[in-house]
Amino acid sequence: MPSSTRPLVVSYAQQPLMRQIAATFPALDVRFVDDIAAPTRISIFNQARAMIVAGNPVNAHTLEPWTTLEFVQTLGSGYNNVDLSALQDRHIAAAHNPGQNAYAVAEHALMSAIYLMRHMGAAHTMVLNGQFSQRQQLAGTIRDMRGLTLALYGMGQIGQQLVRLATPFGMNLIYYQRHRHPQVEHEYAVRYVAPDELWKLADIVVLTVPLTDATFHLVGKDQLACMKPGSVLINVGRGPVVDEQALAQALIEERLYGAALDVFETEPLSESSPLRSLPPPVQERTLFSPHISGVTQQALTAMATHALENVQCFFAQQSVHHVLVPRPGVNLWQWQNDGRQKSFATHPNEG
């Protein structure tokens, strides 16, 4: 099909796997930002009818060159970088992509919990420093997962996948979320608790919530002070949910054993972040990764495929899933009730 008859789609998601999958959608003319020469970039933006974003900001300022834009699709589930009001003002529809990488993120959280409970950072340093004979220092301090209390702050798709993965380990499972999930509680013997109780009971706290006004610095000095000695904090939600200054201080003072973060208040991690200047013995009690928990080969394949399918459906006047801003002229209530909005009932605050 000639490119002139196909909708022009500009993608900020540019991974090699994304490029391979885009090639299997001949009905779309997908261009990748890095492939567009700077002198022609504005011209391409002026012709584009859809945009696929991967964490880059979408707001009134960044939308200025996009004079023909009709649809914005996020690669992942998060959309705190997308100004929905700005899109509505310009009559541009939008959708996000929840759940496609939930298993991968949940698996990363479980891996992080095991890594920290087995003190693998200290063990790794011990071997490399020629201190193999000192391994008895770890004996009796490292823990397996049996009988530990895993607390999930958020019971959306990631939380539910984590519950499924953790169940065979024989852990005590508790959670908090604004909206309870009785079916999950019954099926996996998960107990609902109030936030104050969660912090006091947990050996492992996993955060899966997105960034909202209500979750900004959800974890600060007071919450960390309530955690048990030897407990760990894992954040696979959004970075600003955790006050990094408070966390660094709590780690130094050993109010908790360790922390695993896949997301940070500023990404890339700021030069001035207190997490970058932790003493070496404290660094051994941390596990940091550059926001990669949800981009495994399998997860990225699902994300890219679903995102491109959604774009294709939009231009074919077919069902668009996970709508944030409906097609101009279509009432959101209608989208929810005529089958075009597959899962709007999943609240964005339920990570």
Count other Cβ atoms within 10 Å, centred on residue 116.
Answer: 25
Phi and psi angles of residue 236, each rounded to the nearest 5 degrees, phi first:
-120, 15
Of residues 6, 19, 217, 291, which has the active-site annotation?
291
State yes or no: is 238 an active-site residue.
Answer: yes
Let me know if 114 is exposed, middle or buried by CB neighbors in 10 A (0-12, 13-18, 19+). middle
Q: Which two tokens stand for residue 284?
A: 């051994």
Let me know if 175 is exposed, middle or buried by CB neighbors in 10 A (0-12, 13-18, 19+). buried
State yes or no: is 187 an active-site residue.
Answer: no
Task: Name the nearest CA neighbour of 99 among 332, 314, 299, 287.
Answer: 299
State yes or no: is 179 an active-site residue.
Answer: no
The helix (run of H) or strand (run of E) holding residue 171 is: none
**Beta carbons of 94 and 321 less than 8 angstroms apart:** no
Let me know if 20 is exposed, middle or buried by CB neighbors in 10 A (0-12, 13-18, 19+). exposed
Of residues 96, 108, 181, 238, which has the active-site annotation?
238
Count other Cβ atoms within 10 Å, centred on residue 346.
Answer: 14
CA distances from 314 to 148, 307, 348 (A): 47, 11, 21
Of residues 191, 254, 267, 276, which has the active-site annotation?
267
Let me know if 342 is exposed, middle or buried by CB neighbors in 10 A (0-12, 13-18, 19+). middle
Beta strand 258-261 pairing with 286-288: parallel
**Beta carbons of 22 and 50 less than 8 angstroms apart:** no
Find all residues with CB under 8 Å of 183, minimum gap 6, and list them: none
Report the helix count and the strand count for the chain, using DSSP H and E.
13, 13
Q: What is the DSSP letter of 230?
A: T
Distance in angstroms (rounded) separating the CA atoms of residues 284 and 276: 13
Write out the catalytic residue numbers.
238, 267, 291
